[in-house]
Amino acid sequence: MTPGHYSNYINGQWMPPSRGRYFEHHNPARYAEVTGYYPASEEVDAVTAIEAAAAAYPGWKGTNLVRRSELLRHALQLMTERSREIAEILTTENGKTLSESRAEIAAAAREMDYQITQGMSAIGKTVPLERSGAIGYSVREPLGVVSVISPWNFPFNVPGRKCVPALVAGNTCIFKPASLTPRTGIEFVRLFHDAGLPPGVLNLVTGSGRAVGTPFITDPRIRAISFTGSTEVGLQIQRTAAPHLVRTQLELGGKNPAIVLEDADLDAAAKAIVTAAFSCAGQWCTSTSRAIVLDGVYDSFLEMITKRASKIVVGNGMESRTGMGPVCGKEQYANILAAIEAGKQGGAHLVVGGEPIDGSEGYYIQPTIFSEVNPRSDLAQMEIFGPVLSVIRVRDFEEALRVANDVRYGLCSSIFTRNLERACRFLQQTDVGLTHVNLMTALKEPQLSFGGRKASGFGIPEAGETGVEFFTQHKVIYINYGGES
């Protein structure tokens, strides 16, 4: 099949890039295969999208909340109907297994359903006043035009987690999908177009962050920025937006630990840690990248996770036998292999993996485990964002806590233990935004917020009750209906 040319979506129309330039996308499972051509947009395209969103804002803000919710629920219905087709597109672009893509779309549907319901209820509150003959209440109002910049590792779920609460609250959106997964972003927007969303309410522009990202951050009509990606880019966005008092929501990197104590159910811990380390080729922001294991069970636990990792079938995500697909793109592939090589040279012991898959047509890397990792080494400190697990030996619970917290990141963590006292101490002292007991680091549900600490996040967290909160501002109202003026 000849790969097609795709378009930006601006003011309710599918539009070619202003200068007619396109970039090609390659299947990470077969890198010689071009899957499509996408607008290599310029700054002018982003500005056109912002103008459309600004023009549509008064009408969308004034649309009855019930009507806004009905339109979004129509898009949710279409999402469910098209889930199989979208999952195949997602796997072709990202490389994750088809089962992982289906799970992502199902999660997106649950998130969307929750945020629509939340938007219907998070509209303010009435409170009693000391003053007689008067009432006081608060309302939540939209901000205006908001920009959404989404990642390639969850190219369908994350846009939904950001755009849906923004839209239900009455904002209009400009959306830039990652260049590694542009078609998934287009199919996401197509749901809303086909559901009848008014022109200009949701707009999509593809292209490099360098070419189109500046207006998404600096245009004075932008009132909020929701970004998921690297810490370095997030810091740049924050520095640029701060002088304009633009609200930012940054979901950034992680170096997530899982502590295994001597009284843990080792089999359950091994299953959870291997799943969280190697699902999506280790490219979840919530992936487990450090297993911190007490000395008394270190050797037996290392043997258990090594056996599990060795059994993972690496291959094309479209094949049912595949347990782990390729990593998402040439640059990611090179960076992961460089980090693995540095780990080999840095004194850690390579237990399993550590190499690309010989003779493959895609960006395949073996599931990799290092043991005897120095907790201060780059292997234990730097985000690799790939199928690499560092196993760190510690003497006791106190050392495990120190090692877990002694990184610049603070996204998520887990502990595996049967000891309630130690579990509660861990929950109090782990310096992250999302934590677990006897569960993998990656577990999250839509009814609870999601966000990190330290270099892992900034601003009001997304999802849960804070999903709509980020995209709204408070107004407090007092009415004197018969008392003293």
Please give the positions annotated as active site: 251, 285
Tokens representing residue 432 in the block: 């992250």
**Cβ distance 206 to 179 under 8 Å?**
yes
Q: Are 254 and 450 in contact (CB under 8 A)?
A: no
Q: Which two tokens stand for residue 272?
A: 């959870």
Whole-angstrom Cα distance, residue 409 to residue 461? 16
Q: Contact at 8 Å (CB) between 291 and 413?
A: no
